[in-house]
Amino acid sequence: MTSDAPREAIPEREQIGTLEFVRDPLYPYPFKVAIAPHFWMTEQTGVLSAAMESYFHGEMPTPIHRAALIAYLRQFVERALLLPGTKREPLLAEILTLRTQREFERFADELAAIGIEAF
C-alpha cells in the first residue's frame, strides 16, 4: 500500500479570472503536483490565444492581453513544480510588474532557466 498524500480532484473545466481552461488528456503536465497548471493552448475564450499570438510576434500587449498573460502566468507559477531552493513568492510578485513584450519575454526566459516552460 502506498502512502501518497491524497491529491485534489483535477477539474476538467476551470475558470481563472476571465479565462476558461479545459484539460487536454493528450497534453498532460509531466510532473506530479496537487493541481497541474493549465497550458495556454487549452484556454477556451480565445483571449489568451490572441495575447500569445501578439507575444510571439513581438507586439506590445494591450491591457486585455496583459491581464490574460498575467492571469495565465500566475496560475502556472502557483501550480508548477519548482526546483529545490526556488522561491515561488518572488516570481508571483514579479508577474504583477510585467508591462511590455520585452518584460514578458525576459520573465519567460527566467522561468525557463529554472525549469518552468509556461510558453
Q: Answer for the pair 68, 49: CB distance below 8 angstroms, yes or no.
A: no
Helix (H, G, I), strand (E, B) or coil at 80: coil
Helix (H, G, I), strand (E, B) or coil at 47: helix
Q: How many Å apart are CA 80 and CA 33, to the nearest integer?
A: 7
Confidence at 11, pLDDT banded by 50, 70, 90: low
* Residue 91 predicted with pLDDT over 70: yes
Q: What is the pTM of this model?
A: 0.87
Mean of per-residue pLDDT scores for the chain:
90
| Mean pLDDT, rounded, for 53-62 | 94
* Residue 8 predicted with pLDDT over 80: no
Domain residue limits, the chain:
15-23+32-113
- Per-residue pLDDT of 19-31, as tens digits, reads 999 998 888 899 9
